[in-house]
Structure 1
Amino acid sequence: MQHDQLAESGPPPTSPPPISPSPTSAVGALIGRALPGDRLRGWLVAGVLAVVGGWVRFQNLGTPTDPRGTPVFDEKYYAANAWQMLRNGWVEDNPGFNLTVHPPLAKQLIALGEALFGYSGWGWRFAAAAAGTLMVLMIVRIARRLTRSTLLGAVAGVLLICDGVVHLMSRMAMLDIFLAFFVLAAFGCVLADRDQTRERLAIAVREGWATESNYGPRLGFRWWRLGAGVALGLACGVKWSGVYWVAGFAVLVVLWDVTARRAAGVAHPWLGVVRRDLVPAVWALLLVPVLVYLGTWWAWYASETAVNRHLAGDTGSFLDIVPAALRSLFEYSTDVLKFHETLTTPVDKPHPWESKPWTWPMGLRPMLYFLDTAATGCGEPKCVRATMLIGTPAMWWLALPMLAWALWRSVFRLDWRYAAVLVAYLAGLLPWFLNVDRQMYFFYMTPASAFLVLGLVLVLGQVLGTAREGVERRGTGLLVVALYIGLVVANFLWLWPILNADPITEARWQAELWLPSWR
């Protein structure tokens, strides 16, 4: 009889059954802090700061130029490339120029400005200034979503306006501000996708069907993730270094999907991500960027005279099933990759403003884009006009402490916000250590600037504290944050003349050069 009872009841359990989280706790873990309810005010703050940022970027945009009214520094390549595109069907068709070494998208955007305002400083810089202005709008909204605070969103906007790197690159006909724009847009899409995914899982938990399968529910089409893929493809269409953020953001999305399913009480969150999310993620964050990138070459495919358009001929092998245009693009890209990998500074003629990536976080080696030591207008017989790419020290000199704190919070507090910013920032820095012999410049850090701002904003949010910590604590935190913002604004205003080529005295010029490495 005892044997029959044991047979009917089955073997004794070897471990206690898993305890599923209650629906209330699971929803709380998924949603966390809700977005602020002041939606209208949030958009008004973002709009006002974008207008301020636009005024700062666009004022006197046509200055400086070389004495003949021509572009300065590397603008001379991209402004000319863009003007050539206007004349030749949106493609570069001068192989003798020998410097067609980046995808076409950013140069086409520069060409739009030239189509509006002609071959002038306003023309070749208009698109960059527009991108830099829109970045202010985006970072306010992104920081608000990241911190759940409209105030901290506004702080992010002010800091980005006052960053010397983003400011100057928004006023130059170069490529990196467009890369920064699309990378930041992709980051915003990834954040929105995280929130949307967790909201859908929270609904499943409330309605009781989140754990009907050991792998969790299907989450439907994720438009924000698709948006991230499109933005990343456009980033690669500006510069190939956009691929670093493709990899970084793909890792973030997968990890966030796993933690979301775990918070919802799914029995096998990793297998759930593999079965439910991995294929759509590969499609959205790998195939879509590739397709969008290839699409940015649309004018090149349609042209008969574009550079290297007919580079590949018939091979007599199975490779001929690939369209000749794609094979030509592959061979063309291979040649360009070799150019970049072997771009080194001659030992006997080093570039005066080259720098290596270990100097970039603190901006220890800025770049002089323009210098006129025979200017007038400063009230003295001899004046100086200059533009120098330099990160506002009140922000950039805190980069290493911010990164260390972000790493600590990510590892020991599992703070996803710091982890997201850390991944995005390091994607713009660490890959450059793989080939330190090649020629490198500080302006490569332009896309990372926004993530420096977001990291600082997260720290300022902790300094600010919350209402639950008491009025006195909150008041002290607000005072510290306000003083820091005032310091950043004052530092930016001090640098203003050498960011905008305003005439200054020789003494003031020397006073602007704080470190020996700035000279």
Structure 2
Amino acid sequence: MPEKNFIYTKKDYVLISLLLIVYSIIALYNLGSLKAPETYWQNTNSGETFTTDLGEIKALGRVYYYGGLGEGKYRLDFSRDAATWKTGPTIQKKNIFVWEYITVDTPARYIKFTAESQGAALNELGVFTSQGAKPLVVKSVIPGKISPLTKGRPEYLFDEQDTIPSRPSFYNGMFFDEIYHARTAYEYLRLIEPYETSHPPLGKLLIALGISLFGMNPFGWRIVGTLFGAAMIFVMYLFGRRLFQKPEYAFICALLMALDFMHFVQTRIATIEVFAVFFIILMYYFMYKYYVMNLQPTEFKKSLVPLGLSGLTFGLGAACKWSSILAGMGLAVIFLAASVNRYRHEANANRRKKTGETKRNRILFMSISWGIVFFIIVPLFIYFLSYIPLMMVPGEQGLKTILVYQQHMLNYHKNLVATHPFASTWWEWPIIKKPMWYYSGQDYLPPGKISSIAAMGNPAVWWVGIAAVIASLVISLSEKNKKMFVVLAGLASVYLPWVFVSRLAFIYYFFASVPFVILCITFIISRLVERNPRLKPWIYGYLSLAGIMFIMFYPILSGLVVSKTYAATFLRWFQGWYFFS
């Protein structure tokens, strides 16, 4: 059916503005610290040393450390008088951009640090007494054997003491795949060969934008993804408004996205999924506009605008993650259907005007030609441009570098053989059989307290969504609903390919399907309410339930410290739902 002409009203602006304000406050709260050590000491050779003088003998308890790129090993020796030394523990720096500490439990005035490996960056050290809440003041740093090629100075390890947290946590360090994606974003900014190369660069370059604005700290590497998460809610409102015409239904689309657990978690960590999913929603939003234009006689040139924007966002998504290319299969089907509709309109017009087939054949040829431009040439150009920062890295070889990386990506995804305790299969995702446990901060908390972050769906969205998708499919087929054809084609293209994938997979792969599931839920709600307005209280109740679920599970979505008893009693509904150990 043709799309009705509509304009956005004051009600639209009020609804989406209020939702975005409330969501943004919740999403930005406790997102990450703006403080992290940025100066560093990176020894060139093993055996390099320096000594710290605390000014007087102290009962030492812990040594905090925050490391940058690379793995390192550092031996600690302690002395009361700088003459007699006692060998202490060794710092094994394996993690990056995260605070850790070792227990030392010895009285000393002097601490000698000896690098037993080479090439790792150490950003900051903090020396504490057994019960101390603040780091001890280091009176002086005495360089020992230091190579002239070493980067930074030992003094840099004690120049940002205000960044040392009272408790290491997700708030002040990296977790999950941030160690790949946020790290690589940092490397792009420093023109260092990137560590993570199994995905195209654009998503990591977007993360790098936040780092360039706010620094290499948790807030800096997470903020852009969080803003994209808020923008995703806005686009869902626009999509729902076009599909269902009324502000109320558009608001339901946006609200369910805001209340979905997967959306909240994935957009608050520095990984690339948020960017791919954002562009997938946009490419289908614009393709829907194009498709609807071709359900009725429309000037051909006008229809090229949404088609071009769909191709543009397809290219941006593909430059973030290859899964966006899977979404392109649905776009191709919709484009083909739109072209057939256009051809039929031209044929009918020709019969009425008693003209030949020249014009409709020309329109068909032009449609296909522009489709090739927008969905092949433009995306390839965007994809190429995303590699420019990589080609700026010293030692890279231009176009040859790009081809080498494509082969590497293909081999990685094709030949990946691995196991993971939180791996799951495609059919397990909608039923939330196995949430993925991203973060556990139990080691630094008192007994009985937990801090966790887990990726899973809101049961009120995902479980209801299963029934809604089936109902939408049945209704669309029986009524030949052409608008929902776009939604179902999108869902099929991002979800069904995983049926045939045997490699390791995880529940967050379902994130790209969630927007389409929400559109199906809203479609069913609209049909129910339009046929029986007395069902509205039940719809309000359903939306309230989704909100209650979000509030209940908020602690294990955000890392908020809560009692282990609360999580065990109210949140762990099934044995496969791990939020604590």
Q: TM-score range by the shorter chain?
A: 0.7 to 0.9
**Superposed displacement of residue 58, structure 1:** 1.1
Cα distance per residue 1:16-44 (max 9 Å; x no partner): xxxxxxxxxxxxx5x34443x45343233
Partner of 1:213: none
Is 1:172 equivalent to 2:238 in the alignment? Answer: no
Partner of 1:274: 364
Aligned 1:165-314 pairs, distance under 5 A = 165-198=262-295, 201=297, 218-219=300-301, 222-262=304-344, 265-266=348-349, 274-305=364-395, 309-310=396-397
Cα distance per residue 1:332-381 (max 9 Å; x no partner): 21122111111122xxxx3111111111122221100111225658xxx5
SS at match of 1:517: coil
Is 1:409 equivalent to 2:482 in the alignment? Answer: no
Cα distance per residue 1:173-227 (max 9 Å; x no partner): 011011011111111111222344456x25x7xxxxxxxxxxxxx5456111111
Q: For the structure 1 residues 509 and 368, does the alpha-carbon distance in structure 2 shift closer, same or farther, using more than 3 Å as the test?
A: same
The answer for unaligned runs of 5 or more in structure 2 is 34-96, 100-167, 352-356
Cα distance in 1 for partners of 2:342, 2:240 equals 21
Partner of 1:7: none
SS at match of 2:442: strand
CA RMSD in angstroms comes to: 2.4
Is 1:462 equivalent to 2:527 in the alignment? Answer: yes
Cα distance in 2 for partners of 1:506, 1:278 equals 59
Identify the match of residue 11 of structure 2 among 41, 47, 66.
Answer: 41
**Superposed displacement of residue 261, structure 1:** 4.8
Do 1:58 and 1:129's aligned partners in 2 also have CA atoms closer than 8 Å?
yes
Which TM-score applies when normalising by structure 1? 0.78
Partner of 1:139: 236
**Superposed displacement of residue 108, structure 1:** 0.8
What letter corresponds to residue 295 of structure 1 in structure 2?
A: L
What letter corresponds to residue 567 of structure 2 in structure 1?
A: W
Do 1:371 and 1:385's aligned partners in 2 also have CA atoms closer than 8 Å?
yes
Partner of 1:118: 215
Is 1:70 equivalent to 2:173 in the alignment? Answer: yes
Which protein is richer in strand relative to its size? 2
Identify the match of residue 465 of structure 2 among 399, 407, 412.
Answer: 399
Identify the match of residue 28 of structure 2 among 34, 51, 58.
Answer: 58
Cα distance per residue 1:130-185 (max 9 Å; x no partner): 10010111111110001111110011111011000000011100110110111111
Cα distance in 2 for partners of 1:108, 1:456 equals 34
Cα distance per residue 1:433-462 (max 9 Å; x no partner): 2221x1111111222211111111111111
Cα distance in 2 for partners of 1:402, 1:270 equals 39
> Relative to structure 2, which stretch is displaced further, 58-67 or 115-124?
58-67
Do 1:46 and 1:141's aligned partners in 2 also have CA atoms closer than 8 Å?
no
Partner of 1:366: 435
Cα distance in 2 for partners of 1:240, 1:298 equals 18
Cα distance per residue 1:462-486 (max 9 Å; x no partner): 1111xxx5xxx31x12112111101
Partner of 1:448: 513
Partner of 1:331: 404
> Relative to structure 2, which stretch is displaced further, 406-415 or 136-145?
406-415
Is 1:351 equivalent to 2:420 in the alignment? Answer: yes
Partner of 1:87: 190
Partner of 2:130: none
For this pair of structures, how many residues does the alignment match? 436
**Superposed displacement of residue 65, structure 1:** 6.9
Partner of 1:439: 504
> Relative to structure 2, which stretch is displaced further, 233-242 or 53-62?
53-62
Which TM-score applies when normalising by structure 2? 0.70
Cα distance in 1 for partners of 2:453, 2:243 equals 34
What letter corresponds to residue 358 of structure 1 in structure 2?
A: W
Cα distance per residue 1:248-291 (max 9 Å; x no partner): 11211221332355467356899676334222222222222222
Do 1:353 and 1:365's aligned partners in 2 also have CA atoms closer than 8 Å?
yes
**Superposed displacement of residue 516, structure 1:** 1.8
> Relative to structure 2, which stretch is displaced further, 64-73 or 427-436?
64-73
Cα distance in 2 for partners of 1:485, 1:220 equals 38
Larger radius of gyration: 2
Do 2:207 and 2:221's aligned partners in 1 also have CA atoms closer than 8 Å?
yes
Q: For the structure 1 residues 362 and 130, does the alpha-carbon distance in structure 2 shift closer, same or farther, using more than 3 Å as the test?
A: same
Cα distance in 1 for partners of 2:420, 2:8 equals 51
What letter corresponds to residue 41 of structure 1 in structure 2?
A: K
What letter corresponds to residue 340 of structure 1 in structure 2?
A: H
Partner of 2:572: 513
Cα distance in 1 for partners of 2:467, 2:341 equals 28
**Superposed displacement of residue 501, structure 1:** 0.9
Do 1:163 and 1:391's aligned partners in 2 also have CA atoms closer than 8 Å?
yes
Q: More relative contact order in 1 or in 2 (CA 8 Å, sep 6+)?
A: 1
Do 2:193 and 2:390's aligned partners in 1 also have CA atoms closer than 8 Å?
no
Identify the match of residue 227 of structure 2 among 121, 130, 147.
Answer: 130
What letter corresponds to residue 516 of structure 1 in structure 2?
A: Q
Do 1:197 and 1:219's aligned partners in 2 also have CA atoms closer than 8 Å?
no
Cα distance in 2 for partners of 1:368, 1:122 equals 21
